[in-house]
């Protein structure tokens, strides 16, 4: 009954939007878990403006932000089944179907901007095989959205070393991040991005793992007071479209959408360092302490991480080994 109510609610909400797009030949409805004011929301807005302008209104784009239709974890199934045309999901939400996607959550593997850019480039030896595998779930990847490095947030002081995580409940947003917390003797708790604020406010978890841009867009300084800049993983979101819907579009429309997607991907990637810098400044302005671990403290984090790599290779099979080998050659 709960599943029926969820599906009915989404269908009604989507149906209400139909009238606004009747003049367009093609309508793209996009589900986003973050607020429209977030940098991912603004990136979708750029895509919308580009598509509608280039198509002279023949293609309409409607953005449903703040998880008003689907939570992050529901997006892969919603898009893959065709319940909605498009959606934005954290890359790790595909780990159930494609375990190898968690290559980006291997601790400290992508520790420079150059390595990240090389890995996420369209058709790269790391990204290319992942996009192909995701296509088998009924969704086609249109573009990747940079979200920056993973940080830790806490109250009462920084998370300097694994010893500071021992016995603590830690919010994570993927299985591999959970493995990382486990080897540090913490207790991982999977919590959706849209549910973070309440989890911190209620004390459901002691430590959070997120991107600093999320701290800004969700005003997490209201419930947490310290950021520890670990950059232990590269957080990526992907924008996907239902494959059957995509293949059924006129070629001219696909070309317009593809061009706008490439423009949106380049824009968010190029602005990521400035987005993070602005988010750190905003967090500090609102009372948060920003802590960068010392070289010895970072060494302690890296030393506990090897079991995470071993578990990844075991779970992700030949595809995981393939993208791991490619990543380590960057």
What token pair was written down for 17? 């939007």
Distance of CA 45 to the CA centre of its chain: 17
Does residue 7 form part of some domain? no
Does residue 12 form part of some domain? no
- 288 backbone φψ class: left, alpha, beta (φ>0; ψ -120 to 50): beta
Neighbours of 73 (CB within 10 A): 18
Predicted confidence (pLDDT) per residue in 259-281, tens digit: 999 999 999 999 999 999 999 99
pLDDT of residue 6: 45
pLDDT above 70 covers a percentage of the chain that reads 93
Predicted confidence (pLDDT) per residue in 294-303, tens digit: 999 999 999 9
Does residue 16 form part of some domain? no
Does residue 5 form part of some domain? no
Does residue 4 form part of some domain? no
Does residue 10 form part of some domain? no
pLDDT of residue 246: 98
Predicted confidence (pLDDT) per residue in 286-324, tens digit: 999 999 999 999 999 999 999 999 999 999 999 999 999
Domain extent at residue 115? 23-328
Confidence of residue 250 (pLDDT cuts 50, 70, 90): very high
Query: How many structural domains does the chain have?
Result: 1
Predicted confidence (pLDDT) per residue in 131-172, tens digit: 999 999 999 999 999 999 999 999 999 999 999 999 999 999
The yes-or-no verdict on residue 9 having pLDDT over 80 is no
What token pair was written down for 51? 């598509």
pLDDT of residue 18: 45
Confidence of residue 17 (pLDDT cuts 50, 70, 90): very low
Q: Which residues contact 262 (CB under 8 A, 6 or more apart)?
A: 122, 143
User: What CATH number does the domain containing 266 carry?
Assistant: 3.40.190.170
Cα gap 80→238, rounded to integer Å:
13
What is the overall mean pLDDT for the chain? 93
Predicted confidence (pLDDT) per residue in 117-132, tens digit: 999 999 999 999 999 9
- 167 backbone φψ class: left, alpha, beta (φ>0; ψ -120 to 50): left
Confidence of residue 1 (pLDDT cuts 50, 70, 90): very low
Task: Assess contact for 108 and 305: CB atoms under 8 A.
Answer: yes
Does residue 69 form part of some domain? yes
Confidence of residue 10 (pLDDT cuts 50, 70, 90): low
């Amino acid at each position: 009954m709960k599943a029926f109510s969820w599906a009915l609610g989404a269908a009604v909400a989507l149906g209400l939007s139909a009238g606004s797009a009747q003049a367009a030949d093609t309508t793209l409805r996009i589900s986003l878990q973050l607020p429209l004011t977030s940098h991912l929301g603004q990136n979708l807005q750029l895509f919308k403006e580009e598509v509608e302008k280039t198509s002279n209104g023949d293609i309409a784009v409607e953005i449903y932000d703040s998880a008003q239709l689907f939570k992050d974890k529901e997006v892969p199934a919603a898009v893959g089944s065709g319940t909605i045309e498009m959606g934005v999901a954290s890359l790790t939400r595909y780990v159930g179907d494609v375990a190898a996607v968690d290559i980006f959550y291997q601790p400290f593997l992508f520790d420079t901007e150059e390595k990240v850019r090389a890995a996420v480039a369209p058709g790269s030896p790391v990204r290319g095989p992942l996009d192909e595998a995701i296509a088998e779930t009924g969704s086609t990847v249109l573009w990747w959205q940079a979200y920056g490095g993973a940080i830790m947030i806490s109250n009462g002081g920084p998370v300097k070393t694994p010893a500071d995580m021992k016995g603590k409940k830690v919010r994570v947003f993927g299985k591999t991040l959970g493995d990382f917390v486990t080897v540090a003797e913490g207790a991982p708790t999977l919590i959706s991005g849209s549910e973070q604020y309440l989890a911190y406010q209620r004390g459901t978890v002691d430590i959070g793992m997120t991107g600093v841009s999320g701290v800004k867009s969700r005003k997490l300084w209201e419930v947490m007071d310290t950021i520890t800049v670990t950059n232990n993983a590269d957080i990526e979101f992907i924008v996907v479209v239902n494959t059957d819907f995509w293949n059924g579009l006129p070629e001219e429309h696909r070309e317009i959408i593809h061009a706008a997607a490439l423009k949106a991907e380049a824009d968010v990637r190029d602005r990521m360092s400035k987005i993070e810098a602005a988010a750190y400044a905003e967090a500090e302005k609102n009372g948060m302490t920003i802590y960068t671990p010392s070289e010895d403290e970072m060494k302690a984090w890296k030393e506990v991480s090897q079991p995470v790599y071993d578990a990844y290779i075991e779970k992700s099979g030949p595809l995981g080994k393939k993208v791991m080998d490619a990543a380590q050659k960057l």
